[in-house]
Structure 1
């Protein structure tokens, strides 16, 4: 087997970092939590544990670098979603973007944003990107539901969970990609209709005007 096939080829720093981050992301999804066994990570890349540390001095640094890379991907996808047209189509396109990410990478974003080790040490860039994405999607739902953005946050988490679940089914090969995409869109559309009725319902005890 060649050195390149085993990961032992001499790579540029950027290429090696990318190689380590891709292997680390896959390993994190496999085990479902952090920290990562760096000896195993090094073996997958074909480098020593010491070299992994040379590129990423702490596990938090590695997690943040992976998170920023994937949040940038989602940020670009959300930008495209906002070109979809109507608020409803924008919401559906955002859900599809998250479905696509989960179908390719599994629950990686959810894991990195919820794992105590990673979430407790978010880098400023990661925090800012996550905040931007959430604000933009909340604004999109505000335009759809006609209620303040802050009231849309619970709905946003519900819709994201639907898209993520369908994407994970595709990631684990339990669902055909095209069927998964269609189901994600249909479930999101149904949830949008149901949530619209609930969010716009008058408070209990108030008579309809």
Structure 2
């Protein structure tokens, strides 16, 4: 008699600490949401891509909205850290223009390295209601960081906060719209995009506020 074949065994899921597993799920979910759109994505899609069960994702994030919110929060944190690191890298003696340029460059560098996160930020019309405030919070975070940088600059001493806030909104809007524009233009690199923003937005700031030359 032929020897019976051994019973098929299911692949064993690799165990990992919860924090590591959450990070893995978020990275995959960000990509799937960006590829398929929020509405068309199912929790099963994400579970299959990660190699875990749907109940595990529900246990960690509660719902698809909760998972999307966690993805956006993760992107917000990563962008803040990238921006802060860029400002620290220029050093305390750098001119305000150099600091400004470093922040703008960090934004475009982040977008290039996290294209799927940027797609999520742009999907405002298709995302869950609880995620919309989180998307806006990314803009508010960057605006607040820009205002704080302006306030700390001696060259801008005495400029009203309202004016600084207005310039910060212009900066964030310009960066975001330019990022959308260059998404289909691979020939426009990070430095090209940075130069466009700095030569237009910073030039306007320096002209309107003569003390902003240092």
TM-score (norm 2): 0.69
Within 2, Cα distance between the matches of 1:129 and 1:106? Answer: 15
Quote how far apart the aligned CAs of 1:71 are: 1.6
State the Cα distance separating 1:35 from its structure 2 match. 6.3
Residue aligning to 1:104? 113
Work out whether 1:26 is the aligned partner of 2:31: yes
Aligned pair partner of 2:75 in 70, 75, 80: 70
1:52 aligns with one of 32, 57, 63 = 57
Q: SS of the residue aligned with 1:47? A: coil
Kindly indicate whether the alpha-carbon contact (under 8 Å) linking 1:162 and 1:184 is maintained by their aligned counterparts in 2: yes
How far is 1:58 from its partner?
1.4
Q: Check whether the contact 1:63–1:112 (CA below 8 A) recurs between aligned residues.
A: no
Structure 2: stretches of 5+ with no match in the other structure: 1-9, 210-214
**Greater shift after overlay, 132-141 or 90-99?**
132-141
Structure 1 unmatched runs, 5+:
201-209
Aligned to 1:14: 19
- The one-character-per-residue Cα deviations of 1:18-45 (angstroms, maximum 9, x if unpaired) are 1110100111221244563211111111
Give the 3 Å change call, closer, same or farther, for CA 87–32 of structure 1 in structure 2. farther
Q: Aligned with 2:130: secondary structure?
A: coil
CA distance in 1 between partners of 2:19 and 2:63 (Å): 18
Task: Verify: 1:161 aligned to 2:177, yes or no.
Answer: yes
SS in 2 for 1:89: helix
Deviations, residues 41-85 of structure 1 (Å, cap 9, x unaligned): 111111222222122111222122222222222212222333332
Structure 1 position 135 matched with structure 2 position 144: yes
Paired residue for 1:195? Answer: 204
Q: Secondary structure of 1:9's match? A: coil
State the distance in 2 between where 1:151 and 1:89 align.
Answer: 20
Residue of 48, 55, 61 corresponding to 1:43 = 48
- Cα distance in 2 for partners of 1:76, 1:30 equals 25
Task: Specify the structure having the higher radius of gyration (Cα).
Answer: 2
Give yes or no for contact 2:121–2:135 (8 Å, CA) kept in 1. no
CA RMSD of aligned residues (A): 3.6
Instruction: Select which of 175, 180, 184 maps to 2:186.
Output: 175
